[in-house]
Amino acid sequence: MSVFRRLSLLTAATAAVVGMNAAAGDVAVNDLDKVSGWILDPAKSAQLKVDEAGTIEAKGQLIFFSRDFINIDPGKKYRLSGQFRSTPGTKGDRFFFGFQPFDARRKPIQPEMIGMVSGTDTELAAPCEPADKMIKVVDASMWLTGNKYCVAFNIDAAGTDLPNRTLSSTGIKALKAAGSSYEVELDKPCGVSSAAGTKIRLHQTGNTFIYPAAEYAEVPTAWQEFSGIINPEAASGSPRDAWWKGTKTCRIIILANYGQGTAETALQAKNIKLEELE
């Protein structure tokens, strides 16, 4: 017997296999061999086609997601795979192949929500309001400046607040010791109202999505399988080979032609599947 249990299949006719192994309420990922099985910007719908054999073709720069959500077990390991090539007669380009993660309520998980920076837990030294661009914290000695950092509020030292959705605007301009506390200057208004004594930490952004199978990979001229293992849930951060903290469902995502992205570039894909490793 195979060590794999397939979770998403390419046709509705075989999708019942998913349902037999899924918990009540799970949604099978159907029709990945049809245009209707994918969602994308309606203004770019003409750039995505699927032929009678189920081969997907994406022209120009395009991002598209599986229509259905996939319920996953964050404690288990999975394998994502698919075959890709550039459309014969077109220029080759680069692409990404992976997942968009969601929590149990199907809210997207962004990298800054789980990107805690170790050793930066502290608390507000004074209240802050949404319009504030300067906030006062007890200890920012381990904090960093830059456009990828933000402040997470109402944290828990054990990380049970992740994914944390109470975040300041992104971008920390300057840090300054001011007596018994620190002043944190933000690039933009904070956007959060919080009382003095609120537990906070520094967070950072990262990749927008999870890319275990292909990350800015060069598209081959002949069919080639791209695959990747995604491991059980990471405690924090946005790794490319593990479920992000809080992930309960996901969508498969393809970012096509993200090198040149011209009208002359075209990506083809087929046999896309996700398997649970038992």
**Average pLDDT, consecutive stretches of 10 residues, N- to C-terminus, the chain (278 residues):** 34 29 41 94 96 95 95 94 95 94 98 97 98 98 98 96 98 96 98 98 97 97 97 96 97 94 89 87
Query: CATH number of 116-204: 2.40.50, 2.40.30, 3.40.1350, 3.10.450?
Result: 2.40.30
List helix spans (H) across 150-265: none
CA–CA distance, 266 with 92 (Å, rounded to integer): 7
The per-residue pLDDT for 29 is: 64
Other CB atoms within a 10 A radius of the CB of residue 143 amount to 19
CA–CA distance, 246 with 236 (Å, rounded to integer): 9
**Does CATH number 1.20.1250.20 belong to domain 4-110+207-277?**
no
Q: Using DSSP, state whether 215 is helix, strand or coil.
A: strand
Q: Where are the domains of the chain?
A: 4-110+207-277, 116-204
CA–CA distance, 158 with 156 (Å, rounded to integer): 5
The per-residue pLDDT for 168 is: 98
Where would I find the beta strands (DSSP E) of the chain? 4-8, 38-39, 48-50, 56-59, 62-66, 70-71, 77-86, 94-102, 122-123, 134-137, 149-153, 172-178, 181-186, 199-204, 210-218, 224-230, 249-256, 266-277
The per-residue pLDDT for 153 is: 98
Q: Model's pTM, two decimal places?
A: 0.87
Handedness of CA 123, 126, 132, 135 (dihedral sign): negative
The per-residue pLDDT for 9 is: 31
94-102/210-218 β-pairing: antiparallel
CA–CA distance, 5 with 18 (Å, rounded to integer): 9
